[in-house]
Amino acid sequence: MRVVMLSKAVVAGAYQRKLEEIARLGVELTVLAPPGWREPRVGMIPLERCFTAGYTLLTLPMVLNGHHHIHFYRGLRPLIRHLRPQVFHIDEESFNLATFLAMREGVAIGARCCFYNWANIDRRYPPPFSWFERYNLRHAAHAIAGNQEAAAIIRRHGYDGPISVIPQFGVDPDLFAPADGLRQHDAFIIGYVGRLVPEKGVTDLVAALAGLPANARLRLIGDGIERPRLLQLAAELGLSAQVEVLPAVSSTAVPAAMRELDVLVLPSRTQPNWKEQFGRVLIEAMSCGVPVIGSTCGEIPQVIGAAGLVFPEGDVTALRAALSRLIDQPELRAELARRGRARVLAEFTQAAIARRYVAVYQAMLET
C-alpha cells in the first residue's frame, strides 16, 4: 500500500513515532512536511528529524506559513504525480486552501483521499472557504475527526461518507515513561506545559495557587503573549517566589520536564471561536505517570476519563480544591498516576493509533 501524508504537524519530532509505526505495518509511506511551521503568537517551530526509520520524510516549501487556512505548498503537483500514492492522507481541515489544492491533485491521479478535522465549533465559512469545503467533502473517500464534536459538524455540513474519530497522534510509552523512582524534593510541583495564551486559562492556575500550602510551586513551561501578564499576576498576589515561567522545550524534551511534576493541569477556557479540541499534553503526562487535572472545556473530560480530576472551566475555587486534594492525598496521586498510565497503554500509544490509521487506509482502498 502506497500512502503519502501531507502534514505540518509532524514538524514536532515526537509525533514522528506514529509514522514509524505506520510504516512498520507494511505501508510504503512518504510524508511531506514544511521546513518549519510558524505558530501564531508563538513563533517558528523548525522541523525536527527525530524518528524517521522505515519511511521517507520530504520537505516542501510552504507559502503563507503561519496562516492556518490559506497556506499551501509549492511544488506539490509534480511530486504527487511522481509518487502516485494509492492513498493520500491530507492532514488538514476540510475548509483549508492547502486541503483543497492537495485533494485536487490526489483526485487527478486517482488516489483515495482523506482529510483531518479538529474544528469543534460549528460555523458556516464564507467563500472561498465554503467552496474549498464543498469540494473536499464531495471528493474525500474518508473523513477523520479528532473528536466527536468535529465528526458531528462534518455530518451537518453535508458529508455522507465514512468518518473515523481518531486522535491525530498518540504517545510513545517508552519515551513518555514514568520516572524510575520517587522524586527527591520537598516542594509540590504543579505544572503546565503549552502555549501561554488566554484561551488556555493559565491565569486561573496562577490564581488557584493562592491559598495552597507554602510548599506548592507552579512551573509554567511555554511561550506566548500571556507571559508578562502571568508574571504580573503572580507579583500582585504575592506569589512571585512560588511561580517560575520557563521557555518552551522541544517535543522530545517534554517527557523529562513532565517527570519533574507532581501534577499537570490543563485549565483551558472556552472562547467564542475556540474550545479545547483534545489536549494532547494530558496523555503525555498520563503516560509519564503524572496525575492530571483538566477543565470541562471541549474534549478534555473525554480524554481524561476516570484517570484524573475534572473541574468546571473558569472556576478557580474548584481548581484550588482539586489541587488541595492531590497535595493532601498521596494515595490518590498514586492511584491517578496508575490509572493514567493504564489508559494511555490501552488507547493512546503511537502503535495503537497507527493501527487505526492503517485500518482506515485499507478501508479506503476497498470502497
Is residue 182 assigned to a domain?
no
Tell me the C-alpha to C-alpha distance, in Å, between residue 214 and each of 54, 245, 325, 331, 332.
Answer: 50, 18, 15, 21, 21
Number of H helices, E strands in the chain: 13, 17
What distance in Å separates the CA atoms of residue 320 and residue 330, rounded to the nearest whole number?
16
Looking at residue 251, what is its pLDDT? 82
Residue 161 has what DSSP assignment? S
Structurally, the chain folds into a number of domains equal to: 2
**Domain span at 275:** 188-347
Residue 185: pLDDT over 80: no
Query: Per the structure block, which three cell numbers stand in for 17?
Result: 513515532
Is residue 180 assigned to a domain?
no
Same domain, 17 and 161: yes
What distance in Å separates the CA atoms of residue 229 and residue 249, rounded to the nearest whole number?
21
Same domain, 87 and 157: yes
Are 26 and 1 in contact by the 8 Å Cβ rule? The answer is yes
User: Where residue 281 sits, what CATH number does that domain have?
Assistant: 3.40.50.2000
Same domain, 245 and 209: yes
Looking at residue 186, what is its pLDDT? 84
Percent of the residues in the chain that have a pLDDT greater than 70, as a whole number: 99
pLDDT tens, residue by residue, 120-175: 999 999 999 999 999 999 999 999 999 999 999 999 999 999 999 999 999 989 99
Q: What are phi and psi of 242, to 5 degrees?
A: -105, 0
What distance in Å separates the CA atoms of residue 87 and residue 141, rounded to the nearest whole number?
9
Looking at residue 123, what is its pLDDT? 92
Query: Could you tell me what percentage of the chain is helix, strand and coil, using 3-state DSSP and rounding each to the nearest 5?
Result: 40, 20, 40
What distance in Å separates the CA atoms of residue 335 and residue 338, rounded to the nearest whole number?
5
Higher per-residue pLDDT: 13 or 205: 205
Is residue 177 assigned to a domain?
no
Looking at residue 188, what is its pLDDT? 97
Query: Per the structure block, which three cell numbers stand in for 239?
Result: 506569589
- Kindly report the three-state secondary structure assignment for every residue of 140-166: CCEEEECCHHHHHHHHHCCCCCCEEEC
Is residue 23 assigned to a domain?
yes
pLDDT tens, residue by residue, 69-111: 999 999 999 999 999 999 999 999 999 999 999 999 999 999 9
Looking at residue 252, what is its pLDDT? 83
Looking at residue 301, what is its pLDDT? 96
pLDDT tens, residue by residue, 294-350: 999 999 999 999 999 999 999 999 999 999 999 999 999 999 999 999 999 999 999
What distance in Å separates the CA atoms of residue 289 and residue 340, rounded to the nearest whole number?
7
Same domain, 338 and 199: yes
Residue 181: pLDDT over 90: no
Looking at residue 245, what is its pLDDT? 97
Instruction: Please enumerate in sequence order all residues whose Cβ is within 8 A of that of 133, keeping only pairs 6 or more positions apart, or say none.
Output: 94, 95, 125, 157
Is residue 178 assigned to a domain?
no
Same domain, 205 and 138: no
